[in-house]
Chain A
Amino acid sequence: MEDEIIIDISGLQNCFQGQWVHKDVNLQVRRGEILAIIGGSGSGKTTIIRSILMLLKPTAGRIKVFGKDIDELSNEEADALRRRWGMLFQHSALFSSMTVLENIMFPMIEFTHLDKSFAKELALLKIALVGLPEESAYKYPSELSGGMQRRAAAARALAMDPELLFLDEPTTGLDPRGARKFDELILFLRDALNLTIVMVSHDLESLKKATDRIAFVGEGEILAVDPIEKLMKNDHPMIAEYFSTL
C-alpha cells in the first residue's frame, strides 16, 4: 500500500511551435509522498503538471493516474478522475466574483446534492484547516492578502477531499514567515488528509522542509529524483549549478 504508484509518466514529450520542451520525461509518484518538481525557468515544470491535469495534450507519451491511462478515458471517467485531484494555481485563480466561502462551496454544490447548511459547515471546516481566520469566509478574494488568497485557494483545492493535490509554486511571493507556515500546512494536510502532493517550487527552505523527494527537470528530461540531501550532492552540471546559485 505504501509504495503504490499513483502517477506514472513514461516517455512524455511536449513540443510547442517547433521547440521541444520535453524530450523524454519519466516520473513516478508514490501514494502519500510529497514530490517537488524543480528546474530552471522554462524547463517545463508546470507543463508536466498541466499534462497530468489534462489541461494540455502531450505530443507523445503515456500518463497513468491511479492506474488509468488518461489518454484512454471516456469523458465520464475523466470527470470522475478530475474529482479525485485538486490544483492550487500559481496565482490562486479564485473566482473573483464569489466570496471565499462560495468559492469553496462551488465544487461541492456543482457535484453533489449536499444540503446547503452541511456544505457550508464543510467549507468552513476547510477554511479552518488551511488556517484562515473565519472572518475571511465572507470576504472576496480581492480583499485578502496574497498569502491568504493562497490559503483560500488551497481550501478550494481541498473542497472535494481529493487524494492528490497539485501545487504550482505555492510559496512564491509569500513572505518568509508566511512561506514557512505554508510548508507546515502542506505537511499537516498530507498527514491529516492522507494526501499525495506534487508541487513545483523554487523555495529552497520549503524544498528542504516539506518534501520527500525532488525531481529535477532539465534538458527535456527528469535528470534525477532524490531526496534533497542526495540531490544537492548530485554532480550533474545543471543540478550543481541550480543549487550553487540558490
Chain B
Amino acid sequence: MPDNMSSLFEFDQSAREIRCIGNWTVLNMDGLAAKLIELINCTEESLNINGKELKAMDSAGALALHNAITHSESVNKAVSLHSFNKQQNAMLKLVKEQEEHLHYEPPKQTKDNIFALIGKETISKLLQADGLIILVGELSSKLFIAFGQWRKLHVPSVVSNIFTAGIQALPILALLSFLIGVVLAYQMGIQLQTYGANIYIAYLCGIANFREFGPLITAIIVAGRTSSAYTAQLGSMKINEEVDALRTMGLSPVELLVMPKVIGLTLVFPLLIFWADSFAIFGSMFMSKFMLEVSYVDFLARIKSSVGVKHMLLGLYKAPAFAILIALVGCFQGFRVESNADSIGSQTTRSVVQALFLIIIADAVFSIVYSWLDL
C-alpha cells in the first residue's frame, strides 16, 4: 500500500503547523526526512507538528520525525508536538533514547602506503607457499606411514575418488578429445593437401595428440571438474568445523581427506590420458578419411610405424605430475577457505586458475627436459 509521497504531510502556513497524514512506515518514507528538514529551514521561528491524522508510524517514521525535531532545535526553532497517540509517543521516546548510537561511524582505518602494501602482499604469498610446503611435507610423511600400514591407505575412499574424478569424467573427456582430434586433422590437412603429402597426417596428429594435446586436454578438464570440487568440498567441511572435528579426534585431515584424493587421481590420471589419446586419434582418423581419403588401416599402420609407443609414453609420463598438482592445489585452496559464503567461491576460482597455471608451467618444464634428453 505505498501512499503517494506528497500526501504524507501538509503544511498549514497560517497556523505554522505540519499535519502528518497516513502511514509513516518504512515502505513510504522515501525522502520524507529530507523534505521535513527542508520545510523547517524555510519557516521562521516555532512550528507545530500535528499527528492527529497519522494512521501508523513505525520506527522509520519516528526516526524521520526525530531527525526533524533535533534539526530544528539545532537551528533554535522550537517545535511542539500535538495529538500523537500513546503508542506513537512511545516510539518517539524509544528513538530519542537511542539517539547517541545513531551517528556511529566506523573507526577510521589508516591507509597503508605502497611499500607497506607490497610488503604485506609478499608476506601473505610467502605464508601461502609455506602452507603448501607444509601440506606437501605432511602428505609425504603420511604416505610413507601408509605404505607400511595398508589400513591407512583408506582404499574405499581412494576408489570413490577414482570413480568421481575418473570414471565420471570419461564421457566429456571422450567427446572433447574426439573434437580436438577432428579439428587438428582438419587444420593440418589443409596444409598437407596443398603439397600432396596426405599420408603425413597420421604422423603429425599422432605426435601432437600423444605428446601434448592428450595430456593437456585431460589436465584441463580434470582441473576444471575435480580441483574445483575438492576445494568446494574441503571448504564447506572447514566452514562446518568438520576439519577441526577430525583434528580434535586426533585424526589427520591430510591423511583422511587429501591423501586418498592424491592417490586416486594419480592412479586414474594415466588411464584418462590414454582414453583421451584414443579418442583424439579416432577423431583425426575420421577426419583424415573424410577429407584426405587416408584409409583407417593406412592411418593406424602409419601411426604404429612412425610414431610408435615411445611418444605415447612421453605423454603418459606427465600424468603423475599433473595429477598431484591438481589434487594438491584443490585441497590446499580448500583448506584456505574462511567462514563466509564469498570465500568458497573465490577459493574455488583460485584453485582452478592456479591448477591450470601450474599445469602449463609443468608442461613447459617437461618439454624442456625432453628436448635436453633428445626425446
Residues of A within 8 A of B (CB): 80, 83, 95-97, 108, 111-115, 118, 121-122, 124-129, 134-135, 137-138, 140-142, 160-161, 192-194
Compute how far the CA of A108 lies from the CA of B90 in the bound complex, rounded to whole angstroms: 23
Kindly report which residue of chain A lies nearest to residue B64, judged by CB atoms: A118
Kindly report which residue of chain B lies nearest to residue A140, judged by CB atoms: B340
Q: Is the CB of A161 within 8 A of B104?
A: no
Whether A112 contacts B101 in the complex (CB less than 8 A), given A121-B63, A194-B87, comes out as no
Return the contact of A124 from the options B60, B64, B102 (Cβ within 8 A): B102
Residues of chain A within 8 A (CB-CB) of B60 are 114, 122, 161
Compute how far the CA of A96 lies from the CA of B342 in the bound complex, rounded to whole angstroms: 8
**Total cross-chain contacts (CB, 8 A):** 83
Residues of chain B within 8 A (CB-CB) of A95 are 341
> Is B34 an interface position by the 8 A CB rule?
yes
For the complex formed, measure the closest distance between the CB of A6 and the CB atoms of chain B, giving whole angstroms: 15
Whether A193 contacts B103 in the complex (CB less than 8 A), given A96-B340, A114-B30, A161-B25, comes out as no
Q: List 6 A–B pairs whose Cβ atoms lie within 8 Å, in order of A's numbering.
A: A80-B1, A112-B30, A114-B60, A124-B103, A142-B339, A142-B340
Main secondary structure of the interface of A (DSSP, over half): helix
Q: Is the CB of A124 within 8 A of B94?
A: no
> Is B98 an interface position by the 8 A CB rule?
yes
Whether A134 contacts B95 in the complex (CB less than 8 A), given A97-B341, A115-B34, A161-B26, comes out as no
Residues of chain B within 8 A (CB-CB) of A124 are 101-104
> Is B39 an interface position by the 8 A CB rule?
no
Residues of chain A within 8 A (CB-CB) of B26 are 108, 111-112, 114, 122, 160-161
Residues of chain A within 8 A (CB-CB) of B119 are none
Residues of B within 8 A of A (CB): 1, 25-27, 29-31, 33-34, 58-60, 63-64, 67, 87, 90-91, 94-95, 98, 101-104, 106-107, 338-342
Q: Is the CB of A125 within 8 A of B101?
A: yes
Compute how far the CA of A73 lies from the CA of B173 in the bound complex, rounded to whole angstroms: 49
Residues of chain B within 8 A (CB-CB) of A129 are 59, 94, 98
Return the contact of B59 from the options A114, A126, A134, A137 (Cβ within 8 A): A126
Kindly report which residue of chain B lies nearest to residue A160, judged by CB atoms: B26
Pick the 4 closest A-B CB pairs, nearest first. Answer: A96-B340, A161-B58, A128-B101, A128-B98
For the complex formed, measure the closest distance between the CB of B115 and the CB atoms of chain A, giving whole angstroms: 27
Whether A125 contacts B90 in the complex (CB less than 8 A), given A96-B342, A97-B342, comes out as no
Interface centre among B26, B58, B64, B67 (most CB of A within 10 A): B26
Whether A96 contacts B339 in the complex (CB less than 8 A), given A122-B26, A192-B90, comes out as yes
Return the contact of A115 from the options B31, B94, B102 (Cβ within 8 A): B31
For the complex formed, measure the closest distance between the CB of B214 and the CB atoms of chain A, giving whole angstroms: 40
Residues of chain B within 8 A (CB-CB) of A118 are 29, 33-34, 63-64, 67
Compute how far the CA of A125 lies from the CA of B202 in the bound complex, rounded to whole angstroms: 75
Kindly report which residue of chain A lies nearest to residue B87, judged by CB atoms: A194
Kindly report which residue of chain A lies nearest to residue B27, judged by CB atoms: A112
Residues of chain A within 8 A (CB-CB) of B33 are 115, 118
For the complex formed, measure the closest distance between the CB of B343 and the CB atoms of chain A, giving whole angstroms: 8
Kindly report which residue of chain B lies nearest to residue A101, judged by CB atoms: B106
Residues of chain B within 8 A (CB-CB) of A141 are 340
Return the contact of A122 from the options B27, B59, B91, B340 (Cβ within 8 A): B59
Whether A125 contacts B340 in the complex (CB less than 8 A), given A113-B30, A192-B90, comes out as no
Kindly report which residue of chain A lies nearest to residue B57, judged by CB atoms: A161
Residues of chain A within 8 A (CB-CB) of B339 are 96, 142
Compute how far the CA of A138 lies from the CA of B340 in the bound complex, rounded to whole angstroms: 15
Compute how far the CA of A194 lies from the CA of B60 in the bound complex, rounded to whole angstroms: 14
Kindly report which residue of chain A lies nearest to residue B345, judged by CB atoms: A97
Compute how far the CA of A97 lies from the CA of B239 in the bound complex, rounded to whole angstroms: 13
Compute how far the CA of A239 lies from the CA of B343 in the bound complex, rounded to whole angstroms: 45
Q: Is the CB of B103 within 8 A of A121?
A: yes
Compute how far the CA of A235 lies from the CA of B60 in the bound complex, rounded to whole angstroms: 47
Q: Is the CB of A192 within 8 A of B63?
A: no
Compute how far the CA of A80 lies from the CA of B64 in the bound complex, rounded to whole angstroms: 23
Q: Is the CB of B30 within 8 A of A125?
A: no
For the complex formed, measure the closest distance between the CB of B107 and the CB atoms of chain A, giving whole angstroms: 8
Q: Is the CB of B104 within 8 A of A122?
A: no
Whether A112 contacts B98 in the complex (CB less than 8 A), given A96-B340, A125-B59, comes out as no
Compute how far the CA of A111 lies from the CA of B104 in the bound complex, rounded to whole angstroms: 24
For the complex formed, measure the closest distance between the CB of B58 and the CB atoms of chain A, giving whole angstroms: 4
Return the contact of A137 from the options B31, B64, B87, B106 (Cβ within 8 A): B106
Q: Is the CB of A134 within 8 A of B101?
A: yes
For the complex formed, measure the closest distance between the CB of A231 and the CB atoms of chain B, giving whole angstroms: 31
Compute how far the CA of A108 lies from the CA of B63 in the bound complex, rounded to whole angstroms: 14
Whether A127 contacts B101 in the complex (CB less than 8 A), given A96-B339, A137-B106, comes out as yes
For the complex formed, measure the closest distance between the CB of A51 and the CB atoms of chain B, giving whole angstroms: 26
Other CB < 8 Å A-B pairs besides A112-B27, A134-B104, 15 of them?
Answer: A96-B339, A114-B26, A114-B30, A115-B33, A115-B34, A129-B59, A129-B94, A129-B98, A134-B101, A137-B104, A142-B339, A160-B27, A161-B26, A161-B59, A192-B90
